[in-house]
Structure 1
Amino acid sequence: MVVASVVVPAHDEAASIARTLRALRTGVGPDDLDVVVVCNGCRDATADLAREADPRARVIEIPTPSKREAVRVGNTATDVFPRVHLDADIELTGSALVELVAAVREGGAMAAAPRRAVPRAGCSPWVRWYYDVWEELPHVQSGLFGRGVVVLSEAGQARVEHLAGLMNDDLAMSEAFGPGERRVVPGAVAVVHPPRTVADLVRRRTRVATGNAQATRLGVRRTGSQTRVRTLLSLAVSRPGLAARVPVFVGVYLLASFGARRAVRVGDFDTWQRDESSRTG
């Protein structure tokens, strides 16, 4: 019996797609998951590697390099719920996915996401310091965004259908549900590989800042999900060990905000500022 469908949009993910799909099949039966990988505008071997790593997955290739279109195609390819939206560079085991599905199917949540693990080995010290602060922010701990995985009930999927075009789609999905409707499941863990270099970190955070601005413009983003000065000051006071790291966080935040200005000014919410260092083995 199929317990959930999994939609995986993938653009030039040859370095990570096999790792992602193999993890997904760990701890579940061969027919438990309806996995749909949508390779969009790929110029590498993503599709072939996906088929090799998971022969049971349905691999669809479309010519347009667009996550929005890939998600749309993936959603139309399956009618199974709960629906799992999984980024192609995230490691989530099948057994962890089952816990998330249970939170939606039996726990009453409309949306669920795993606890994130952000391995810092091989990362620049500045990158490590940035994530030391970022992971302690209250809205980062409670929101579904930044985890690379969101599981939706059928009603939850219907609620976010119109938000699929947003650049930060996981933020949009998180903000679409109130605290009583969404759940972070501590027992389920997703491995989110961070950038290894400061340049790639700023590139990734510029993308996030641009998407956040789009969500704010459209009235999707809640005020509670924004990083505020008083929150950072409170962290520095209550967690002295983070005090020296906060300026690093602020520096990256300002650089990313500056980098996002041009895109926001011209309304460019399609250009994908991608980092490659997180995709190395």
Structure 2
Amino acid sequence: MNRPTEPAASVVVPAHDEERTLGRLLDALCAPPGRLEIVVACNGCTDATAEVARRYPVTVLDLPEPSKLKALRAADRAATAFPRVYLDADVEITAAGVARLARAVGTDGIHLAGPRRVLPRTGVSRVAGWYYDVWEALPHVRSGLFGRGVLALSAQGVERVRALPSVLADDLAFAEAFDPAERVVVDDVTVQVHPARTWADLVRRRTRVAKGNVQADRAGLRGGGARTAPGDLWKVVRERPALAPKVPVFLAVTVAGRLRARAAVRRGDFTTWERDASSRV
């Protein structure tokens, strides 16, 4: 058991132009009793992200290059404690929730843990909302640890993911590196993941996902359980018939994202971050 002076976990937060959202997250993470070591890796920022981070009792790295992957690596080198919790800067989760996730790993063969995902719908357009209604109902979305913006890893888990090739879909690669018996969704911890609010921003986000999936496939990092098959959609409609009119919207967004990703894939561009601004309003 950790002594009171030891951090309960090290928290790594890569942040690129997140001045609007970072303070909200750090307010929660730095709340008493403040037993988290927090490393914020500002990368290639053109706004006041680093200045916001320096208002809090956290370690701030100000990196010149806008690269989430390099930010994660740099923050990992600066962090000192285990378990290690990786957080997207635009999500909302409490310090108590992070500590609970940290306690869930490292025993009973569990090396990866994530919270229950909540997608607030305030300001989300009807079309975007219909897409997320179907997406959230997919079996692999409900059980998978990708797309939650929060992952807690044991020391052994961190060593395992360090050996993985660097890919755009880092959360997918992390999740797929562990067998189902080694990972867990902690239902009594919630994270708010703010969805894209508009069609254009949703397609941008799906373009990023499509590029990440192609890269993960080429690296052999994505298993069949992390894919959406026609049978999955049929199962969703069979279980929840009210979603049937929304499936065409889901398919249209998916296809639009894949088509938009093709040019980048042909160029071998797996570093450009397709960012949606609407979720950060």
Taking structure 2 as the reference length, the TM-score comes to 0.96
Is the partner of 1:187 in helix, strand or coil?
strand
Matched, 1:159 2:163: no
Which residue pairs with 2:3 in the alignment? none
Contact in 1 for aligned 2:106/2:155 (Cα 8 Å): no
Per-residue displacement from partner, 1:23-56 (whole Å, max 9, x unpaired)?
2234x512x110000111111100111122x2x1
Higher deviation after alignment, 72-81 or 161-170: 161-170
Amino acid at match of 1:173: F
Unaligned runs of 5+ in 2: 1-5
Equivalences for residues 194-233 of structure 1 within 5 A = 194-233=195-234
Equivalences for residues 81-92 of structure 1 within 5 A = 81-92=82-93
Matched, 1:75 2:72: no
Unaligned runs of 5+ in 1: none
Equivalences for residues 66-145 of structure 1 within 5 A = 66-145=67-146
Contact in 1 for aligned 2:43/2:63 (Cα 8 Å): yes
Contact in 2 for aligned 1:145/1:170 (Cα 8 Å): yes
Percent identity, please.
52
Give 1:4's match in structure 2, choosing from 6, 9, 12. Answer: 9
Is the partner of 1:275 in helix, strand or coil?
coil
Which residue pairs with 2:41 in the alignment? 38
Contact in 2 for aligned 1:115/1:188 (Cα 8 Å): yes
Q: CA RMSD in A?
A: 1.1
Matched, 1:273 2:274: yes
Which residue pairs with 2:181 in the alignment? 180
Matched, 1:62 2:66: no
State the 1:229 CA deviation: 0.8
Which residue pairs with 1:29 in the alignment? 33
Amino acid at match of 2:199: V
Distance 1:96 1:108 in 2: 21
Structure 1 runs of 4+ aligned residues shifted over 6 Å read none
Is the partner of 2:141 in helix, strand or coil?
helix
Amino acid at match of 1:183: V
Higher deviation after alignment, 264-273 or 205-214: 264-273
Matched, 1:248 2:253: no
Distance 1:136 1:276 in 2: 25
Give 2:53's match in structure 1, choosing from 50, 53, 62. Answer: 50
Amino acid at match of 1:47: A
Amino acid at match of 2:276: D
Taking structure 1 as the reference length, the TM-score comes to 0.96
